[in-house]
Structure formats: C-alpha cells, structure tokens
Amino acid sequence: MIIFAGLGLYDENDMTLKTLKFAKKVDKIYAEFYTSVLTGTTIEKIEEVLGRKIHVLSRKDVEYEGYKIIEEAKDKDVMFLTAGDPMVATTHIDLVIEAKKREVEVLIINAPSIYSAVGITGLQLYKFGKTTSIVFPEENYFPETPYNVIKENLERGLHTLCLLDIRIEENEKRFMTANEGLKILLELENRKKENVLSEETKVVVVARLGSLKPKLVYGKIKDLINYDFGEPLHSIIIPGKLHFMEEEALKYLCENI
C-alpha cells in the first residue's frame, strides 16, 4: 500500500492526526519538498514528531524514478509526504495513477492547502479562476502564461491566484518574493501591451499562510512593489470583480496600503 499524505502549509504542527497515526505504522516514509516547502520547520522537527526517519527525494527521484517507490509499495506499506495537500501537484497525481495501474492499494490523506487558505483574505473561493505560476525568468525564457491567465480570469470577473517560484536543489534554495513577482507582471504588461495590468492595479499579497501570524496586504502594485512582506512563502492574488462583502473583507482583514 502507498499512502499519499499532506503536511500542511507552514510547520510540523499542521499535519493531521490521521497522517501521524499512519506514519507510525508504515514500513518506510518518503517525502519531496521541491513542489512546495514548509518554511516554518525542518526535516528534523518533522521526524521528531513522527518518530520516524524520512527519506527525502529530489525532483529526479520522483519524476523519473517514482515507479520504484510504487513497486516497493507492492510488498510494503509506504508513505509519501508532501507540503500542502498531496493531490495539488500534477506530479503526485501521476504517481497515484501509476500506482492504480500497477494495482497497488492507494490511500490519500488530505491536508491544509493554499487553495483553501486564501479564504483568509475574505475573497470568495468559488470566484477564483485558473491558478497560475510566476517563475524565475532565464535567458531566452520569459513565459507569458501568468499574463494570459490573469487576462482570461479578469474577463470573466474571476480572481487569480499566482503561485511564486521556488528553487530547491542541491546547491540552491531560492524563493521568489512578491516584489519580484509584481515586477515580472509589470514587465509582461510592457511586453504584451494589452492593458491587463498597470501600476494602479490593486492586488493582494499573502505571506506565510498557515502560520499563526500570516501577512495579508492589499493595495496598488506601485505601492507594494517595494514593500517588505517578510519571510517566505509569498503568493499574489489579482482580484476580479469584487462583491461588496469582499470589498469589506479586504478592508478589515488585510492591511491596506
């Protein structure tokens, strides 16, 4: 059997009792932290809570050799841990499908996710459109997908959740800040020139969701682009058409700049 379980958003206290219960019984525990991470804790603290050793996998381990874990789960009870909810990343869905194809029993334990946590802003969850990711640009690589998604959502009056890039490799640990993300969005507008975004566009920046002291800030891009949002992880929300209750929520639940 293979158990896909989420650890929540921020620290070792976010995991569910169900995850803890099964973790104490399985034969082996794997985890990956390249799709997302828990910035409020360490692997050592998570292992201490579980009372078990965690085998941390790299992107290559999961994406190219994930079948080995599934094969192992034919004869053993294996747990696969992720930050957030285990069924958010397409990589994990692929593993679940592969396990089903190989007739391995699958158990999924859901956990707090960015997709529910953004409700702390007071924006209504059913009014969010497609989510997009803003990635670090590279030479000859400046993807326009975030701009196109935001445009499509705004045309439908929907909010856009922008997830910001993280780089967790052997020799690199880098988290995109909301400031960097906003600059990229303005650069995309400068390139596309379709009047989707401007310095006057109002956005919501959320930081450290899942912690007891998250940062929620609402204001124009020009006023937030140099604002100090503190430690990662950050995300950006481009609001669509606001209901009067959402306007009131943003006024009282967020810091207005």
**Domain end call among 112, 134, 154:** 112
Distance (Å, rounded) from C-alpha 140 to C-alpha 31?
33
- Apex 106 CA angle, 104 and 108, nearest 5: 165
Rg, Å, the chain Cα set:
19
Tell me the pLDDT band of 10, cut-offs 50, 70 and 90. very high
Are 98 and 153 in the same domain?
A: no
- Mean pLDDT to the nearest integer, 214-235: 97
The last residue of one of the domains, among 112, 145, 160, is 112
Residue 170: pLDDT band with limits 50, 70, 90? low
Distance, in Å, from the CA atom of 129 to the CA atom of 257, rounded to the nearest integer, reads: 25
Segment 63-90, tens digit of pLDDT = 888 899 999 999 999 999 999 999 999 9
Residue of 34, 35, 14 lying closest to 211 (CA atoms): 14
* Chain segment 21-56, per-residue pLDDT in tens: 999 999 999 999 988 999 999 999 999 999 999 999
CATH (domain of 39): 3.40.1010.10
Burial (CB < 10 A; 0-12, 13-18, 19+), residue 13, is middle
Global pTM value: 0.93
Residues 141 and 227 grouped into a single domain: yes
Q: Are residues 106 and 185 in the same domain?
A: no
CA gap 210, 79 in Å, rounded: 23
Instruction: Specify the number of domains making up the chain.
Output: 2
Same domain membership, residue 170 and residue 98:
no
Identify which of 200, 201, 100 has the alpha carbon closest to the alpha carbon of residue 160. 201
Same domain, 95 and 138: no
Last residue of a domain, one of 112, 144, 175: 112
For residues 132 and 241, membership in a common domain is answered with yes
The enclosing H or E element of 94 equals helix 90-101
Does residue 196 share a domain with residue 251?
A: yes
118 three-state secondary structure: helix
How is residue 170 annotated by DSSP? T
Residues 184 and 67 in one domain: no
Residues 208 and 197 in one domain: yes
Domain that holds residue 39: 2-112
How far apart CA 104 and CA 92 sit, in angstroms, is: 15
Distance (Å, whole) CA 193 – CA 59? 36
Q: Which tokens belong to 210?
A: 């899942």
Query: In this structure, what is the dihedral angle of CA atoms 235, 49, 73, 59, given to the nearest 10 degrees?
Result: 40
Q: In terms of domains, do 89 and 131 share one? A: no
**Residue pair 23/52 in contact by the 8 Å Cβ criterion:** yes
Same domain flag for 92 and 153? no
Q: At 25, which amino acid appears?
A: K
- The three-class DSSP label of residue 201 is coil
Same domain, 87 and 203: no
Where do we find the tokens 């409700």? 119
pLDDT category at 210 given cuts 50, 70, 90 is very high
Q: Measured between alpha carbons, how far is 25 from 27 in angstroms, rounded to an integer?
A: 7
Q: In this structure, what CATH number is given to the domain that contains residue 230?
A: 3.30.950.10
